[in-house]
Structure 1
Amino acid sequence: MSSKQKLSLSRVGLSVMLALSTTTTLLPIHAKAQDSAPAPQTETEELERISVSGRLMSSAAAAAAERREQPYVAELLGMEQISRAGDSNAATALRRVTGLTLVKDKFIYVRGLGERYSSTLLNGALVPSPDPTRNVIPLDMFPAGIIESLVVQKAYSPELPAAFGGGNVNIRTAAIPLQTTFNVAVGTGYNSLNSADGFSYAGGGDDWHGKDDGTRAISADLATAQRQFGILTPIKIAEALGGINASNLAQAETIVRELGTAFNRDIDIHRTSVKPDFDGSASFGSRFDLAKNVVFGVMSGFSYDRATQNIEEQERYYSISGESLTPLNRYDDIRGTEHQIKMSGMLNFGLELGVDHRLETSTIYLRDTKDEIKIKNGDSIETINETNRFNTDTSLTYEERTMLSNQLRGRHNLPSLWDLAIDWQYTDAKARRYAPGQVEYRYLNETQADGSVFSFLRRNQNAVTYSFGDMQDNTENLSWNAHLPMTLGKAEITFSTGYNYFERNRDAQTDRFNFDTVGFSLQQLSGSFSDIFTDNNILDSSNRFKISNVTTQADDYLAAQMIDAGYAALEINYDYLFRLNLGVRYEDFKQVSLPLTADGQISGNVTDSVLVEDGFYPALSLTWFVNDDLQARFGYSKTVVRPDLREVTPVLYVDPLTDFKVTGFSGLTSTDINSADVRLEWYYDNSNYSVGLFYKDLDNPIEAIELSGSDGNLLMSFRNAESGKLYGVEAEFLQQLDMFNGSIGQIADNFFLAGNLTLSESEITIQRFPGANLTNLERGLSGHSKYVANLQLGFDSDNDKHNATLTYNVFGKRIAFAGVNGKDDAFEQPFNSLDVTYSYAPNSNISVKLGLKNLLDEDVEILQQGEILQKRTEGQSYSLSFSYKY
């Protein structure tokens, strides 16, 4: 742990109070709770759902029935649907929802809008994201085993946070069961890319459980030196030793060299065979009758997933020509290996006091650890015009993403008080991204006259960079909702009101150290990494080895958010012909994000980093029950999308999805959104159809733009465009194929077909910015796809022993980043995904499942001017699992 980490609490408190005190409209930070309230529980939601080993068609129909009862436009996936389709986590399940696409298997785009326009709730409460580059939670962190259902609400309702763009995902975890249940499963998997050997290094430590054993962490000697001297240069250390003189400078240089031996240098890359993936899970739930009408329940679960996948990528390098950036006609080849460990644990308790009172606790722990090695052979500014030279860049990235959520919920029906219903929740959640020991270095390769290649570590003041990062988010949430029903003639009326409080404190810091190799000879630099940086070479004064923790990429910052919110709503159901829902939410929002200097001081003007706003956010929904099978909906709402903490903090970081360098911009403002929906839904037996129109008007949408980078690499940032709009049509169907007669009909009766299609257009108008010569000032929204299609063909045998699902998913090309200097916008190309799952259950307790992913063997590609800028090979994945349930 670094010295900065030990001061985190005091720095957070003092800095946040200082920032908030700069404006009289802000209140002191105090520990309260989150602005996200659970959605009002409909009668359907109150029912416990028993998971049976029935037909997938029935499960899909049950989910459709619950969606039918929702007052606002929503989609729902049940536990059985998720399991039968072979989805391993929340993210892969959601890509089958109408209008949703998935980015890097982590983030969802709703109706073609980027992940900034979606939000995530856990059992109705906002929880922090362990990904510092995104405001939303990476949904691949939630394993399928803890999910009871996924609800995607596309139309805003006032009990939800006002930060609502394309949609809100509510992850509802497994509830207390109606009977004793026990499940255990084990499985294995393999990716076609893993047929070749992968990469590994000896100095990684023992981290099979996804937690570094201290091998990568910043050493105690280094942390002590930072506390004592601050910036680790000979001049600064000499000053701390009593003054700059020959004796103190000599001692300081000795200290710097000795600190060099405190780094983990056992990181030589070697090839190794790739082991098959492994996953296992177990869950247990039961109920106990404690007394008359008093029931206690417990639900627990644990899962472990270890996966390794080789990396094959290509990218073009940008050479600088005048004021423009031009891609070369050759690619940089990237090879590597990613090792990933995922662990999750869940422990829920419930207490039912009769039928009117229910208390629940929920503790969820998620850990997602990535250990990645990437080796890139290509060009840079140093070798761009030299045919006999090229670079080999090596990067080691290790990060642990964790989230711990403790939740207490209650529901109370009070018949003696006019059937008043109250629900409430308190959530304390913590998220952390711990990334110790990230290493980057470059070898130069020179082709000699005899054809041999001479390779050496570059001689540079920044020849090697070590990074030690730590980001921690702490949130507290409190919310309550009250619902008062009454009957007035043929009208059933429900008044609702609620209060939400949300608070977040973030402390993000990174220690970066550079190795100076200017004093080394080329012969010394031509060996392996561990041979170059031996203790003897580092301590040898003639090599003039130095370390430095002063860089231009320091990304330390402190941030805080507070949201104080309340709402009132009214539902009128008139004679089951019309249902009118209307309400308004008021939010008081405060945010501060403070970049820090290398010595921990606030950088820049504090008031520039404060965002304060409040407003009213209305919502209206009208449902017309045309008949028992047909209903029509209309909805309107006004919402907001606010800039993320990282987007408004002017520090430099690397986007893990694109590998682009990104810097924040403190001048961002919020995006106001006006939305309208019209939808027609038809439900018939187990089949259902729907078609809808949607329109969104965006004021000041936030867009990612490309700035002029000094090193030829892409440098991205964020700016507000002037205006934007999104409109389109979406359709969905679920149909059992039982309309045929004869022998064909007997076979077809076991099949069903489900699918959805979204067609949409988007437009934005954006102005020119200094340092960003945008090519197109009118274009589509970044991340928007003009079409999204999903199709499922399902089979269930009569005896329910055989179940199979064929799933196809595709999205239209979408802007990855806007073009500059006359170049067209860069588009991520359509990705056609075809997956198959087959399950065999010889009896009601045992099942075996086979999964095949990406059967079309598609690659992820980003094109610009018809040329590939980035290409990532996904490979085909195969999985086999065995499960037993009681």
Structure 2
Amino acid sequence: MLRKITSLISLLSLTVSVAFAQSGTIRGQLTSSETGEELIGATVVIKGTSNGTATDLDGKFNLTNIKPGTYEVQASYISYEPKTVTGVVVKENEVTVLNIPLGAATTKLKEVVIEGRAIKSSENNLRNTQKKAAVVMDGVSAEQFSRSGDSDAAAALTRVTGISLEGSKYVYVRGLGDRYVKTSLNGAEVPGLDPNRNTVQMDLFPSNLLDNLTVSKTFTPDMPGSFSGGFVNITTKDFPDRFTMQFSTSVGYNDQASLNGKFLSSNKGELDWLGFDNGTRAVPDEVNYTVPFASFTNKQDAERIDEATKAFNTEMGPVRRTAPLNHSHSFSLGNQTEVFGRQLGYVVGLSYQRNYSYYDNGTFGLWELNSVGAEGLNNNSLFEDERGVEEVSLGFLANFAYKLNSNNKVSLNLIRNQSGNNSSRFLFGTFPATSGVYDDRAIFQSRALHYTQRALSSAQLKGEHVLPGFKNSKIDWLTSFTLSQQDEPDLRFFANDYYVNGTDTTYRIQPAAYTLPARFFRNLDETNLDVKVNIETPFTIWNGLEAKTKFGAAALVKDRKFRENIYRYRFNDGYGYNGSIENFFAPANLGVVARPSDAESGGIYRYGVYLQDGSQRTNNYDGEEAIYAGYGMIDLPLSEKLRLVTGARVEVTDIFVESFNKSLEPGELNQIDLLPSVNATYSLTEKMNLRAGYSRTLARPNFREIAPYTSFDFIGEPAFTGNADLERTTIDNFDARWEWYPSLGEFFGVSAFYKNFQNPIERTINTLAQNNEIFIQNVDNAKVYGLEFEVNKRLSFISSRLDNFIVSSNLSLIKSEVSIKPLELEQIRAVRPDADDTRPLFGQSPFVANASLTYQNDLLGFVATANYNVFGDRISAISVGGTPNIYERSRPIASLVVSKRLGDSFTAKVSADNIFNPDFVNSHEYNGQEYIYSSYKQGRTFVVGITYLVN
């Protein structure tokens, strides 16, 4: 196999070699060292030859047909100091990459001579982008999250100042939840796949397909206005300057799941390993009609019920299997070539991951405070919780960029991400609400088989154009079409209770609809069309300073369809539950068990266990959203040190969500918002900035939140109810930051921020409702303010022996306050008279801390990184009445990654994740005692991998 791979690589290398016709190439980019912007139309020549060219609209140049040797390359541009790079080595059939920053000219132009470098550090590039940005921005580069061993965008983002994760998928910026975080993919907005969320699940994006992740924490008018915590932009890999190919593979061992013979699972389809359900879980073909209610005299209805009941499989509970090892694989290929005499760049990437997680010592409980002065909370349920989850992720990326000429470029980006999540869960314990004629010793059991299939398909067509005759104005446009899908085929519940009386055990299934055995079929389809155009015009002002104006327009149109079918199992006396799912679904029990012609029928149709269509039109809805925007802004250097970026954006919102139940009021939101912004940057020194800014932004409810119906995910867990009367939230944001870049890749920063929310949207748990209930509402006001500290520094300042050590650390200290509505406060103080009239904002952590220590020895090709992340307790659910709110408790997450280069092409990597294996706890606290809502451990994971790179 290795010989075949080597032969393939040799063939590809030979193809590339022929294309270069036994000569070398120099490629690179010219940028301004002051602003970081590309320099268009600059001149690049090889001294002593006639070989020269001009940079294109990206500031890039391409010198071809160069004989092998060592050269001097000269770069020059009007109003900039020319620069000569010496010692540039050109080899036969190879590409030398040369990136040159030019400094602005002083009163007397002089030439600067530097030594050639052919290696570009993406981390240094990201820091330079951060330094020159108009806003407060942080980020993480491919180099950084490779060093940290992060497998997807979600894990990589935890390295950014003030960022934490919820559920390993959803990003919190400055402690603000996904409602206040906007995500874009190469500048285009990405729809979420979870119907109950406002943002995309970040674990969908494998890290090997990404170039960098940036988080803008302040707003400028050319950004969408619907964020406050941060605007996350995912940048996928761009085509390289030379041929590159990479293959990586790894295996992982989780000490709770891997090779565990007790792993909870279910029967699966043949394509589960690719993240697809192949129809195994689909509604049977025989059930191509609405299953009628039980009819005792109508033959056609009775036969349909009988046929439908027997058509479904009878697997309604988890089975135990041995979980294999985790494994992950990726492949990417990229290059530049000429097509019709023009440069075509491309990169293609594939990734595949399959991971298993399991816990059997979990806890799930529901609690209530129902009287003044109670010593403790009343227990509504307390379960032991066991779960096994298999996750598959498959990703594909293809980027193509074609330069029509030096001033015009078009690019096409194609992405397909597919994932499958197969979850099997078993709860058992006390559930007094179901005990009925028994006493509180009755044991409740609930089983769930839940498969979720997610897919995101995106096609982005972009163009960039420079107008030389109009002051080198730039026009860029983007058209992005995204289809997101989430299917939950055959979500199965089977719940019962039992009571032991001496040697006898009595089993029972509650007749209430929400506890009957049931099968749910849910699917969500959402399309996004995102269109943007921007026009940027530079002009010269006083003292020869360069300013620019920027105008643009955007339209975002969404269309969502959510469908849910429910089939419940009912049964007649004598065919009930007797301790075994197999016995419950015994063939003799299913469907029609006696017909009018039978002696036992009594002249009517009799049923044993039979299927009933429990679908509710209320639970199906269509949603449409249109956001139209226009903006204008100016980037104005008031002096050589002071830069002002200001302007405003107008956004028109039109959201309409309608349930199939026409008697319900549709959810509707129509609004026009003016969103001003001003950001000022003062350069204290060449390496030090002082920033300040103000902006107004907003947060909108999502489709599900204004769809006025109730649904639930698991028996015993709270139901969720939408609210058609929700309003959008407006936020006034104030930011300040001091930042220092002492040397390449190093950074110090201190930030302060204050946010004032009007009509923030909050989730509340009503423990008084049947089966509990989460509902959504606006509250009057909220405030968030805090400080951020960040350092990224080599330790050579302590001792030259520590030059290979790099420390990165950041800390966010945050305070939040939400006013409680008078009616809600009255309910709280009915049982807690001394309760405050404010509380922390939902999902808001009082602190977030990240730290890493890296040892990097380039000569040995050795890198070792220790990572640490922790956040403070944050509200995960707001309770109705006096019951204390549920908090997600603080937990430390630590990892260690070590990599070693083996020869020229191979790198080996080992890592240990979740080293401390802390408890993941959500709980109430009352009178100094903790009451567990949910608790479990994820286990430690150890990974060994190897990467092969041709570059």
- Residue 295 of structure 1 is matched in structure 2 by 343
Q: Note if 1:853 corresponds to 2:913.
A: yes
Q: Tell which has more relative contact order, 1 or 2 (C-alpha 8 A, sep 6+).
A: 1
SS of match in other structure, 2:741: strand
SS of match in other structure, 2:283: coil
Bigger mean CA deviation after superposition, 380-389 or 555-564: 380-389
- Residue 22 of structure 2 is matched in structure 1 by none
**Quick one: distance in 1 between partners of 2:676 and 2:338?**
45
Aligned-pair distance for 1:554?
Answer: 5.0
Q: Note if 1:838 corresponds to 2:898.
A: yes
Q: Check 1:212–1:397 CA distance in 2 against 1; reply closer, same or farther (3 A cut).
A: same
AA partner of residue 518 (structure 1):
N
* TM-score relative to the length of structure 1: 0.87
- Residue 492 of structure 1 is matched in structure 2 by 546
The aligned runs of 1:501-520 (5 Å cut-off) are: 501-520=555-574
**Quick one: distance in 1 between partners of 2:370 and 2:757?**
37
Q: Check 1:484–1:329 CA distance in 2 against 1; reply closer, same or farther (3 A cut).
A: closer
**Quick one: distance in 1 between partners of 2:403 and 2:120?**
32
Aligned-pair distance for 1:291?
Answer: 4.8
Q: Note if 1:763 corresponds to 2:817.
A: yes
SS of match in other structure, 2:289: helix
The aligned runs of 1:438-837 (5 Å cut-off) are: 438-450=491-503, 463-490=516-543, 491-522=545-576, 525-529=578-582, 532-534=585-587, 537-541=590-594, 542-550=606-614, 555-597=619-661, 602-606=662-666, 609-654=667-712, 660-686=718-744, 687-711=746-770, 713-741=771-799, 745-746=800-801, 748-769=802-823, 773-774=827-828, 776-837=836-897
- Residue 86 of structure 1 is matched in structure 2 by 149
Bigger mean CA deviation after superposition, 194-203 or 425-434: 194-203
Q: Check 1:641–1:319 CA distance in 2 against 1; reply closer, same or farther (3 A cut).
A: closer
Aligned-pair distance for 1:588?
Answer: 1.0
**Quick one: distance in 2 between partners of 1:731 and 1:657?**
44
**Quick one: distance in 1 between partners of 2:825 and 2:309?**
39
**Contact kept in structure 2, 1:265 and 1:530, CA below 8 Å:** no
- Residue 382 of structure 1 is matched in structure 2 by 434
**Quick one: distance in 1 between partners of 2:715 and 2:306?**
36
SS of match in other structure, 2:338: strand
**Quick one: distance in 1 between partners of 2:36 and 2:491?**
46
Aligned-pair distance for 1:330?
Answer: 8.1
Aligned-pair distance for 1:843?
Answer: 2.5
**Contact kept in structure 1, 2:920 and 2:937, CA below 8 Å:** yes
**Contact kept in structure 2, 1:459 and 1:520, CA below 8 Å:** no
Q: Check 1:108–1:471 CA distance in 2 against 1; reply closer, same or farther (3 A cut).
A: same
The aligned runs of 1:126-275 (5 Å cut-off) are: 126-194=189-257, 196=260, 197-202=262-267, 204=269, 206-222=271-287, 224-226=288-290, 232-234=292-294, 247=297, 249-267=298-316, 269-275=318-324
Aligned-pair distance for 1:216?
Answer: 0.5
Aligned-pair distance for 1:879?
Answer: 1.3
- Residue 29 of structure 1 is matched in structure 2 by none
Q: Check 1:804–1:593 CA distance in 2 against 1; reply closer, same or farther (3 A cut).
A: same
The aligned runs of 1:374-453 (5 Å cut-off) are: 374-380=425-431, 381-383=433-435, 386-450=439-503
Deviations 1:239-259 (A, max 9, x none): xxxxxxx75x24312321221
Aligned-pair distance for 1:276?
Answer: 0.3
Aligned-pair distance for 1:532?
Answer: 2.1
- Residue 25 of structure 1 is matched in structure 2 by none
**Contact kept in structure 2, 1:594 and 1:603, CA below 8 Å:** no
Bigger mean CA deviation after superposition, 818-827 or 546-555: 546-555
- Residue 120 of structure 1 is matched in structure 2 by 183
**Contact kept in structure 2, 1:511 and 1:554, CA below 8 Å:** no
Q: Check 1:273–1:311 CA distance in 2 against 1; reply closer, same or farther (3 A cut).
A: same
**Contact kept in structure 2, 1:755 and 1:790, CA below 8 Å:** yes
Q: Check 1:553–1:505 CA distance in 2 against 1; reply closer, same or farther (3 A cut).
A: closer
SS of match in other structure, 1:68: helix
**Quick one: distance in 2 between partners of 1:215 and 1:55?**
53
SS of match in other structure, 1:821: coil
**Contact kept in structure 1, 2:370 and 2:378, CA below 8 Å:** no
**Contact kept in structure 2, 1:104 and 1:657, CA below 8 Å:** no
- Residue 12 of structure 1 is matched in structure 2 by none
- Residue 332 of structure 1 is matched in structure 2 by 383
Aligned-pair distance for 1:263?
Answer: 1.4
Aligned-pair distance for 1:157?
Answer: 0.8
**Contact kept in structure 1, 2:36 and 2:129, CA below 8 Å:** no
SS of match in other structure, 1:83: helix
Aligned-pair distance for 1:878?
Answer: 1.3
Deviations 1:252-284 (A, max 9, x none): 123212211121224553221110011111111
**Quick one: distance in 1 between partners of 2:715 and 2:58?**
39
Aligned-pair distance for 1:880?
Answer: 1.4
Bigger mean CA deviation after superposition, 190-199 or 297-306: 190-199
SS of match in other structure, 1:514: strand
Aligned-pair distance for 1:536?
Answer: 5.7
Aligned-pair distance for 1:189?
Answer: 1.1
AA partner of residue 632 (structure 2):
A
**Contact kept in structure 2, 1:553 and 1:652, CA below 8 Å:** no
- Structure 2 segments unaligned to the other structure (5+ residues): 1-34, 40-56, 61-95, 100-116, 595-605, 830-835
The alignment's C-alpha RMSD in Å is 2.8
- Residue 942 of structure 2 is matched in structure 1 by 878
Bigger mean CA deviation after superposition, 207-216 or 804-813: 207-216
Task: Give the % identical residues.
Answer: 25
Deviations 1:799-835 (A, max 9, x none): 1421011111111111122244323222211111111
AA partner of residue 909 (structure 2):
K
* TM-score relative to the length of structure 2: 0.82
- Structure 1 segments unaligned to the other structure (5+ residues): 1-39, 236-245
Aligned-pair distance for 1:121?
Answer: 0.4
Bigger mean CA deviation after superposition, 622-631 or 548-557: 548-557
AA partner of residue 557 (structure 1):
Y
**Contact kept in structure 2, 1:56 and 1:84, CA below 8 Å:** no
**Quick one: distance in 1 between partners of 2:357 and 2:98?**
34
Aligned-pair distance for 1:184?
Answer: 0.7
**Quick one: distance in 2 between partners of 1:658 and 1:738?**
57
**Quick one: distance in 1 between partners of 2:692 and 2:561?**
43
**Quick one: distance in 1 between partners of 2:234 and 2:722?**
30
**Quick one: distance in 2 between partners of 1:50 and 1:212?**
45
* Bigger-Rg structure (1/2): 2
SS of match in other structure, 1:64: helix
**Contact kept in structure 2, 1:316 and 1:327, CA below 8 Å:** no
**Quick one: distance in 2 between partners of 1:639 and 1:740?**
44
Bigger mean CA deviation after superposition, 295-304 or 305-314: 305-314
Q: Note if 1:43 corresponds to 2:38.
A: yes
Aligned-pair distance for 1:369?
Answer: 0.7
SS of match in other structure, 2:707: coil
**Contact kept in structure 2, 1:261 and 1:535, CA below 8 Å:** no
- Residue 420 of structure 2 is matched in structure 1 by 369
Q: Check 1:347–1:262 CA distance in 2 against 1; reply closer, same or farther (3 A cut).
A: same
Deviations 1:601-627 (A, max 9, x none): x34234xx2210002111100000111
SS of match in other structure, 2:306: helix
